[in-house]
């Protein structure tokens, strides 16, 4: 499946982020290690920006929402693997 943004073909998530300047990858995905309070603050900001994006740029909003969802799936998967192996994530 091809992803074309503003007439340019994007292959990776980084390329898509570069082509969709309204989406801050770090804000919507977050770092690998962050405190609970930092995560809560980042997600609050991301939700506010996502609400604004939905009004101004529905495609960018859809991409940002997908990033947030993908991050939750990755975290859950890592937690599941760590429980199975007995190692903390």
Query: Any idea where the domains of the chain sit in the sequence?
Result: 23-85
Confidence of residue 4 (pLDDT cuts 50, 70, 90): low
**In the structure encoding, which two tokens stand for residue 66, read together?**
């997908």
- The whole-number pLDDT of residue 7 equals 57
User: Which residue in this structure is represented by tokens 């604004």?
Assistant: 52
**In the structure encoding, which two tokens stand for residue 16, read together?**
């898509």
Q: What is the pTM of this model?
A: 0.57
The answer, yes or no, to whether residue 78 has pLDDT greater than 80, is no
Total length of the chain: 89
Q: What is the pLDDT of residues 45-77, one digit of tens each?
A: 999 988 998 998 888 888 888 888 877 666 655
Confidence of residue 1 (pLDDT cuts 50, 70, 90): very low
Rg (CA), the chain: 15
């Amino acid at each position: 499946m091809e992803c074309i943004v503003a007439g340019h073909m994007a292959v990776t998530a980084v390329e898509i982020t570069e082509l969709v300047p309204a989406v801050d990858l770090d804000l919507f995905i977050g770092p690998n290690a962050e405190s609970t309070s930092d995560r809560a603050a980042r997600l609050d900001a991301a939700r506010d920006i996502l609400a604004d994006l939905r009004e101004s740029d529905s495609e960018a909003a859809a991409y940002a929402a997908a990033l947030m969802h993908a991050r939750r799936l990755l975290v859950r998967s890592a937690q599941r693997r760590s429980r199975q192996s007995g190692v903390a994530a």
